[in-house]
Chain A
């Protein structure tokens, strides 16, 4: 089973300032088809998760462009260019390359 490790687990942020979350996988997430199925999800308080970023760096429909994803192989990063109040919540990286699919522990972003 692929282990996904996020750092930090708690990220105090300042409104208008950037924030960054790292995610490391225990094995390469490059699939046999050449794609890397690494997604980022956001879960606001009391809400279900929602997809932010898929395949490392593609923003899902409706996601603000202050969110960006990068990385390759086993090391990935989610960046928020300027944190807004609505960005408070827990962020998860997850891999869908290998079965079982697995999630990181989650990073709590708080103002």
Chain B
């Protein structure tokens, strides 16, 4: 069974940092393009960024609001995706979802999400 499980969400002060993890199982993680999507309270979905699989260069792309502050990385040996978030702002408050792309799209499977709250 394909599973992606996010963790690491927390309450953090503006300007602070946080690392989210997404543990994957049930599929060949190294073959997947992985994406982070967030959803602010009562709001719609917002693309955060993605990382391609190593065979496709392992490159990353980011949304403008997070570029330069957030970093996406992956450890294929641990089948884990990461989101390093620095210089957090109140507008980064959201549920952060991890998505696995296994061939149909980049959004084939979603995790349950992890809540990040940025507040003083």
A residues sitting closer than 8 Å to B (CB atoms) are: 1, 37, 39, 41, 43, 48-51, 54-55, 58, 60-61, 90, 92, 94, 96, 99-106
A36 CB → nearest B CB, Å: 12
Known: A92-B44, A96-B106. 20 other contacts (CB 8 A): A37-B105, A39-B105, A41-B107, A43-B45, A48-B113, A49-B97, A51-B105, A58-B104, A60-B108, A92-B45, A94-B107, A96-B107, A100-B61, A101-B35, A101-B106, A103-B45, A103-B47, A105-B44, A106-B44, A106-B45
Cβ-defined contact, B47 with A101, below 8 A: yes
Cβ-defined contact, A54 with B105, below 8 A: yes
- Which residue, B46, B62, B106, B109, has most C-beta atoms of chain A within 10 A? B106
Cβ-defined contact, B111 with A48, below 8 A: yes
- B63 on the interface (CB 8 Å rule)? yes
Closest residue of B by beta carbon distance from A43: B45
A106 CB → nearest B CB, Å: 5
A-B contact count (CB 8 A): 62
Residues on A with beta carbons closer than 8 Å to the beta carbon of B64: 1, 100
Residues on B with beta carbons closer than 8 Å to the beta carbon of A50: 110
Of B45, B104, B111, the residue contacting A54 (CB under 8 A) is B104
| Known interface pairs A54-B104, A94-B45, A103-B45; A49-B110 also in contact (CB < 8 Å) | yes
Cβ-defined contact, B46 with A51, below 8 A: no
Contact with A along B60-103 (1 / 0, CB 8 A): 01111000000000000000000000000000000001000000
Residues on B with beta carbons closer than 8 Å to the beta carbon of A92: 44-45
Residues on B with beta carbons closer than 8 Å to the beta carbon of A101: 35, 47, 50, 106
* Bound complex: CA A43 to CA B43 (Å): 12
Contact with A along B32-49 (1 / 0, CB 8 A): 000101000000111100
* Bound complex: CA A108 to CA B109 (Å): 22
* Bound complex: CA A96 to CA B108 (Å): 13
